[in-house]
Structure 1
């Protein structure tokens, strides 16, 4: 478990560090309150992976696909799911088990569908506008 305290202007460095520490892990679960910075961190991680163009939150689409240098990168936002069946209906397995990067916001909405191995990223905002990130490898 690693923990980082950083200001938002350091987010690109933190994103690169997270990817380096992840080694070959491609599934990332993002936990944090609304506005904590989950999407901002995912954007920085996507940029570190060479994603062309601006990554954006898939709040209404549920999943966005970005063209990366070494294959697609999938960004999920399960906040608006009513139940896990909606994730089943969209074919989540094809994404999660593709071997490609998957960045998953609000994974607590699909607790029974999570893969066996992933990295949890817990992010919180502090009163001084800094962010605290804790990484947990599962």
Structure 2
């Protein structure tokens, strides 16, 4: 699935991505500032998260509650230096919890990401819109 959207269309894009039957583990690939966190916030809103969402850059993971009462985990692995750091924080317990995990910078832990996952790539276009590819 491929979608090109403006910031005003981000909630509709998030809704389309969720309707595409995302796996429980979703990795986000994009350059710095391309909109990973912004898209994850929109996905959280579409899942009924009422809490204020923010990038977990310093905490590595934020937990939100969806409208259905289930946890939603948002990871930002940018600050990790080794996969061992992720393993020490119990990342595998999150991944195999049965709850959705949205992961920024998954390339920091390539050997820990479950094989059964969805992958979203985001590219910023010259006109300010974003192009998203879901695999």
- Sort the TM-score into its range (normalised by shorter chain): over 0.9
Unaligned runs of 5+ in 1: none
Paired residue total: 134
TM-score norm. by structure 2 comes to 0.97
Unaligned runs of 5+ in 2: none
RMSD: 0.8
TM superposition shift of 1:69: 2.2
Query: CA offsets per residue over residues 52-74 of structure 1, 9 Å max, x none?
Result: 12211000000000111231000
Counterpart Cα distance in 2 of 1:135 and 1:74: 19
TM superposition shift of 1:18: 0.3
The aligned runs of 1:67-106 (5 Å cut-off) are 67-70=65-68, 71-106=70-105
2:60 aligns with 62
TM-score norm. by structure 1 comes to 0.94
Query: CA offsets per residue over residues 10-64 of structure 1, 9 Å max, x none?
Result: 00000011011025x2111000000000000000000000001221100000000
